[in-house]
Amino acid sequence: MYDNLLTRFLTYVKIDTQSDASSMTVPSTQKQVDFAKRLLNDLEEIGMSDIEYNESNGFVTATLPANTDKDVPIIGFIAHMDTADFNSKNISPQIHENYDGKTILLNEEQDIRLSPDDFPNLNNYVGQTLITTDGTTLLGSDDKSGIVEIFSAMEYLIAHPEVKHGTIRVAFGPDEEIGVGADRFDVDHFKADFAYTIDGGPVGELEYESFNAAGADIHIKGKNVHPGTAKDKMINALKLAVAFDNELPQEQVPEKTEGREGFFHLVSVTGTVDEANMSYIIRDHDRDEFEAKKKLITAVADKLNTSFDEERISLKLKDQYYNMREVIEKDMRPVELADKAMRRLSIEPDIKPIRGGTDGSKISFMGLPTPNIFAGGENFHGRYEFVAVESMEKATDVLIEIAKLAAE
C-alpha cells in the first residue's frame, strides 16, 4: 500500500544523524543539517508546499494544503532526525521476512543474537517482516520510523485527493535525543491547532503524560593527602560521592521502578580523591513528588556539607521539561481523535504515561498540545533495536485516519 515506505526507511537509517550533547551548535551536528537538506528535497519531490529549513532551530517544516472547504483544525505531525548515543556509523539494516519466532543471528562473527528468551516482545511479531541491526550499531527506528510514516501518509493523501482533509503541517527536528531540540521550536510559525509526535514504541501506544524532568550536576571538592599520613586530614571526594548516593532512596532508581513511579538516576561519576563530579537525572510524573525529589537531593548536599568547615559539595539543579498532561488535559481533542482513529482501524489504544519525554513535552508547554503516537520500533538505543514493516504501515494508517476524521 505504501510503496516507498520500506525503501525510504532503509535509505534513511543508513544516514548517520547522531546528535552530540557536548556541542554548542544548533543543530548539534552537521550531519543533522545535511539530513535536513535531504528531507527538503524529498518533501519537494512528493509534492508538499511551504517547504522550509529554519537555520536558527534546525527544523524542517512543510504543509499539505487542505482539500476541503470545511472549517477543520490544522493538525501537525512531528518527528525527530537525530539518533541516540550508541554507535550509528555504517548502519547495515537486516530484513527478516516472515519471522519464525526463533532466535535471530544478528552477527555471526561476534555471535550477537536477538533472542525471544531475552526479548519476549519478539513473540508479538511472528509472521511479520522485521528489520534489525547487524548487531554492531543501533537501527535508528527512533525516529526514522516516524519520519517515513509521516512521508508515507503525506504521499498517500497527495495521491488520493478524494480523501478529504484539512491543512496538515509536518516538522522534522534535531537533537531530541539530547533533550534540547524542541527548545527553539517556533510554535507561532508552525500554525497548528494541535499536533502529534510520532515517536512512540509498539503499535497502539498513545501517550499524553510524560515525566517531569530535572538534571542535577554535583561537584565534590576533596583533599588529597599522602595515604601514609592521611589520618584526620584526607577528604576522599570519591568516598563522598558514594556517601551522597547512599543518602538517596535506594528503591527509587530506574531498575526498581515502573509505571508512574519516579526515580533518581545516577548517570555518571568521574573523579579522583581530590575532586569528583556526579550527574543525576530526576524524574516523576507527579509535580509535587517531582518538587519533593529536588528538595531531597538539595537537602542531602546540605547535610553532607555540615560535616566540614567549608562547602565541599556544590549542586546545580536545572528543570528540563514537565508533564505535558498539565496542558493536554485542558483540551483532549488530539487524544480523543487519535483514540478514535486507532479504534476505527481495529487497533486497541494503549494509553499510558511515558517513562521519559518527547519533544511534545516541551512543545505542549509552548501552547501547542502535542501527545505522542506509536512509531512501531522496539528496543530503542542499542544493538537489539528492531521494527516490523507492518507496524510502520499501521502507524501510517493512523496518521491518515486522523486526517480523515478531523475533516468529517
**220 and 367 assigned to the same domain:** no
Q: Where are the beta strands (DSSP E) in 130-262?
A: 130-132, 168-173, 194-200, 205-207, 212-221
Q: Is the pLDDT reported for residue 358 higher than 90?
A: no
- Locus of grid cell 497548528: 192
Q: Tally the domains of the chain.
A: 2
Amino acid sitting at position 55: E
Q: Is the pLDDT reported for residue 288 higher than 90?
A: yes
Work out the average pLDDT over 52-64: 97
Q: What is the pTM of this model?
A: 0.91
**32 and 107 assigned to the same domain:** yes
**182 and 161 assigned to the same domain:** yes
**242 and 101 assigned to the same domain:** no
Query: What sign for the dihedral angle of Cα 182, 183, 186, 191?
Result: positive
Work out the average pLDDT over 30-37: 97
Final residue of a structural domain among 276, 300, 321 = 321
**127 and 39 assigned to the same domain:** yes
Which domain CATH number covers 29? 3.40.630.10
**298 and 373 assigned to the same domain:** no
**259 and 308 assigned to the same domain:** yes
Final residue of a structural domain among 321, 339, 365 = 321
**14 and 97 assigned to the same domain:** yes
| Nearest CA-CA partner of 208 in 216, 199, 217 | 199
Instruction: Determine the structural domain holding residue 317 and report its residue range.
Output: 212-321
**265 and 393 assigned to the same domain:** no
Work out the average pLDDT over 372-398: 97
Biggest alpha carbon distance in the chain?
A: 85
Average pLDDT score, the chain: 96
- Locus of grid cell 508546499: 49
Please give, one letter per residue, the 3-state secondary structure of 142-156.
HHHHHHHHHHHHHHH
**317 and 328 assigned to the same domain:** no
Q: Is the pLDDT reported for residue 179 higher than 90?
A: no
Model confidence band, residue 326 (pLDDT cutoffs 50, 70, 90): very high
List phi, psi (to 5°) of 395.
-60, -40
**358 and 238 assigned to the same domain:** no
Residue-wise pLDDT tens digits, 218-235: 999 999 999 999 999 999
How does strand 112-114 pair with strand 275-284?
unpaired
Which domain CATH number covers 251? 3.30.70.360
Final residue of a structural domain among 301, 321, 341 = 321
How does strand 194-200 pair with strand 75-80?
parallel
**196 and 310 assigned to the same domain:** no
Q: How far is CA 356 from the centre of its chain?
A: 7
What is the structure's pLDDT at 357?
Answer: 83
Residue-wise pLDDT tens digits, 182-200: 999 999 999 999 999 999 9
List active site positions.
Answer: 82, 176
How does strand 75-80 pair with strand 168-173?
parallel
Q: What share of the chain is helix, strand, coil (3-state, %, to 5)?
A: 35, 25, 45
